[in-house]
Amino acid sequence: MVATAVGERLDLPVTVVASLAEAREALAETDRYFLVLTGLVLADAEPGAILDFFAAAGVPTVVVSGNYDQATREEILARPVVDCVLKNTPGNIDYLVWLAQRLDRNRRIGALVVDDSPSARKLAASLLRMYGFRVVEAGTGEEALRAIAADTSVRLLISDYELPGIDGLELIRRLRATHARDRLSIIGISGSGSPSLLAQFLKHGANDFLHKPYSREEFFCRVSQNVDNLDLIGTLQDLATRDFLTGLPNRRHFFDRGMQMFEAERCGLAAGMIDIDHFKHINDSYGHDAGDVAIKAVADRVARHARVQDLPSRFGGEEFAVLVPGLSGDAARAHFERLRADVEAMAIPLGDGRSIRLTISIGVCTTGGDLSAMLAEADRRLYLAKAGGRNRVEPRAGVLTAVA
Ligand X SMILES: Nc1nc2c(ncn2[C@@H]2O[C@H](COP(=O)(O)OP(=O)(O)OP(=O)(O)O)[C@@H](O)[C@H]2O)c(=O)[nH]1
Residue 275 sits in the site that holds ligand X (CB under 6 A): yes
Comparison of 15 and 355: residue with beta carbon closer to ligand X: 355
Minimal distance, residue 292 CB to ligand X, in Å: 5
Contact 71, 92 (CB under 8 A): no
Task: Tell me the site size for ligand X, rule CB under 6 A.
Answer: 16
Comparison of 155 and 340: residue with beta carbon closer to ligand X: 340
Which of 158, 160, 145, 146 has the alpha carbon at shortest distance from 115? Answer: 160
Indicate which single residue of 131, 209, 279, 315 sits in contact with ligand X (rule: CB under 6 A). Answer: 279
* DSSP secondary structure code for residue 192 in this structure: -
CA atoms of 289 and 11, how far apart (whole Å): 25
Comparison of 67 and 391: residue with beta carbon closer to ligand X: 391
CA atoms of 257 and 311, how far apart (whole Å): 8
Minimal distance, residue 246 CB to ligand X, in Å: 9
Residue 295 sits in the site that holds ligand X (CB under 6 A): yes
| Amino acid residing at 43 | A
3-state secondary structure (DSSP) of residue 187: strand
* CA 113, 115, 118, 120 torsion-angle sign: negative
Minimal distance, residue 321 CB to ligand X, in Å: 15
Indicate which single residue of 288, 304, 307, 338 sits in contact with ligand X (rule: CB under 6 A). Answer: 288
| Amino acid residing at 211 | H
Residue 283 sits in the site that holds ligand X (CB under 6 A): yes
CA atoms of 356 and 250, how far apart (whole Å): 25
Minimal distance, residue 276 CB to ligand X, in Å: 7
Residue 247 sits in the site that holds ligand X (CB under 6 A): no
Between helices 141-150 and 168-176, what is the axis angle to 10°?
30
Span from 170-178, 218-226, 266-274, 288-296 in contact with ligand X (CB under 6 A)? 288-296
Binding site for ligand X (CB under 6 A): 245, 275, 277-281, 283, 288, 291-292, 295, 317-318, 386, 390
